[in-house]
Amino acid sequence: MSARNAFYAQSGGVTAVINVSACAVIETARQHPERIGKVFAGRDGIIGALTEDLIDTSLESAADIARLRHTPGGAFGSCRYKLKSIEQNRREYERLIEVFRAHDIGYFFYNGGGDSADTCFKVAQMATAMGYPLQAIHIPKTVDNDLPLTDTCPGFGSVAKYVATSMREAGLDVASMARTSTKVFVMEVMGRHAGWITAACALAAENEGEAPHLLLLPEVLFDEARFLVRVRESVARYGFCAIAVSEGLLGPDGKLLADSGVTDAFGHAQLGGVGPQIAQLVKQQLGYKFHWAVADYLQRAARHIASRTDIEQAYAVGRAAVEMALAGENAVMPAIRRLNDMPYQWDIMAAPLDQVANVEKKMPKEFITADGFGITAACRCYLSPLIAGEEFPPFRNGLPDYVRLQNRIIKKELLPFVV
């Protein structure tokens, strides 16, 4: 069997460790020159495959590829581009196979979340239908931690570590000033549908009274009256109240709180997210001085404080993807299987893509306290190992030293294709 080339693409929102998986794919492929020729990366994700913008990663030095392990963002570019169903846009799938055929690509590694698992599955089906030999492997990645069949999703552990650290640090700040200054601090974190990141903020508190005091999860409809009672109690008891709120918090009507259609005096849509909205509510109803933070991209790009567990898992799924492909697997995803909580032990298994695609894993009920404002011991037991360990990037001139690859595009063989 002669060597065939591989294609790798990053999809959707990038993370602090998606490049770790890229690093693992390329390093592992390089260990098998008899089976895998070059690894081409899609420029800006799957769009790069459609437009035949293929980056030749063989031109990057081993040292630079190794530096991907400590570089956040998407080194080859990613995209928000969901392929339609095969019925709706068969042409795109055919084009992918044409590009693969033109460059003798026998391995397709797609690094993304639920949508890309679905795309990867369809590409596998299309290749089979067209009689084109291809191993299509999905590599899990999403800060939302909402993929099924895997204990966690690479990218999540590092966000979790960042938000818990930030909440602990800001909590100390607020606690020390609360007597004469800010009494209510609100931190808005990511998570449109699932409250995993908000839940992780709770890891900051180890003792009674420490921040955060309240979580506002998207799984629990917001109850203003009950919330305000709890804020007042916290301020009375601990001197302050620190709140973590999910960007996807839903109001009593089940609609996004931050999408309330409120406009300002100029008729502009409201400026803030749900964090400032909650802070403002507290100010109006209880009169407390408040501050709010919205970490936004900072949280998912914070490689400087990534979880070593997360890094190791991101690497493991990338390496396993290549190994599964070499073993002849198709339409699968390397999933993380938890073997033990403490010490945390895990291995990698192959999960069939048809069971991954389009299934969203929310927080289970038993992970949320009865009052809806906190997490249970079971949730803490689940989350704790995911943030364990550090692997700081190298620093240069006081800042993390991140790699920029050359990203050279190979010569095109086909006619242009308009995305």
Stretch that binds its own copies, among 28-36, 120-128, 175-183, 221-229 (CB under 8 A): 175-183
Q: Is 175 in the site for its own copies (CB under 8 A)?
A: yes
Q: Which is nearer to its own copies, 11 or 330 (CB)?
A: 11
Stretch that binds its own copies, among 27-35, 76-84, 126-134, 351-359 (CB under 8 A): 76-84
Q: Which is nearer to its own copies, 187 or 332 (CB)?
A: 187
Q: Closest separation between CB of residue 37 and its own copies, Å?
A: 26
List CB contacts of 77: < 8 A, sequence separation 6 or more. 10, 42, 43, 44, 45, 48
DSSP 17: S
Q: Which helix (H) or strand (E) holds 36?
A: strand 36-42
Q: How far apart are CA 61 and CA 42, in angstroms?
A: 18
Q: Which of residues 98-137 bind its own copies (CB under 8 A)?
A: none
Q: Which is nearer to its own copies, 157 or 372 (CB)?
A: 157
Q: Which helix (H) or strand (E) holds 187?
A: strand 184-189
Stretch that binds its own copies, among 61-69, 122-130, 296-304, 367-375 (CB under 8 A): 296-304
62: left (phi over 0), alpha (psi -120 to 50) or beta: alpha
Among 20, 49, 75, 322, binds its own copies (CB under 8 A): 75
Stretch that binds its own copies, among 315-323, 345-353, 355-363, 396-404 (CB under 8 A): 396-404
Indicate the SS3 state at residue 185.
Answer: strand
Q: Which is nearer to its own copies, 44 or 92 (CB)?
A: 44
Q: Which of residues 260-289 bind its own copies (CB under 8 A)?
A: 262-266, 268-273, 276-277, 279-280, 284
Among 63, 88, 179, 377, binds its own copies (CB under 8 A): 179
350: left (phi over 0), alpha (psi -120 to 50) or beta: beta
| Sign of the alpha-carbon dihedral angle for 99, 102, 108, 109 | negative
Q: How far apart are CA 321 and CA 111, in angstroms?
A: 10
Q: Closest separation between CB of residue 274 and its own copies, Å?
A: 10
Q: How far apart are CA 171 and CA 185, in angstroms?
A: 8
Tell me the catalytic residues: 144
List CB contacts of 246: < 8 A, sequence separation 6 or more. 188, 189, 190, 191, 195, 197, 198, 216, 217, 218, 274
**CA–CA distance from 374 to each of 369, 371, 381, 386, 401 (Å)?**
5, 7, 14, 18, 37
Q: Is 387 in the site for its own copies (CB under 8 A)?
A: yes
Q: How far apart are CA 346 and CA 174, in angstroms?
A: 38
Number of shown-chain residues binding its own copies (CB under 8 A) = 85
385 preceded by a cis bond (ω within 30 of 0): no
Q: Which of residues 133-172 bind its own copies (CB under 8 A)?
A: 161, 164-166, 168-170, 172
Q: Which is nearer to its own copies, 251 or 400 (CB)?
A: 400
Q: How many CB atoms lie within 10 A of CB 343?
A: 8
Stretch that binds its own copies, among 103-111, 121-129, 177-185, 313-321 (CB under 8 A): 177-185
Among 102, 229, 392, 406, binds its own copies (CB under 8 A): 392
Stretch that binds its own copies, among 9-17, 25-33, 351-359, 364-372 (CB under 8 A): 9-17
Among 181, 345, 358, 406, binds its own copies (CB under 8 A): 181
Q: Which of residues 194-223 bind its own copies (CB under 8 A)?
A: 203-204, 206-207
Strand-strand pairing, 54-56 and 36-42: antiparallel
Cα angle at 265 between 260 and 266, to 5 degrees? 100
Q: Which of residues 297-336 bind its own copies (CB under 8 A)?
A: 297-298, 300-305, 307, 309
Q: Closest separation between CB of residue 47 and its own copies, Å?
A: 7
Q: How far apart are CA 51 and CA 179, in angstroms?
A: 60
Q: Which is nearer to its own copies, 192 or 327 (CB)?
A: 192
Q: Which is nearer to its own copies, 296 or 323 (CB)?
A: 296
Among 1, 236, 377, 399, binds its own copies (CB under 8 A): 399
Among 30, 32, 193, 291, binds its own copies (CB under 8 A): 291
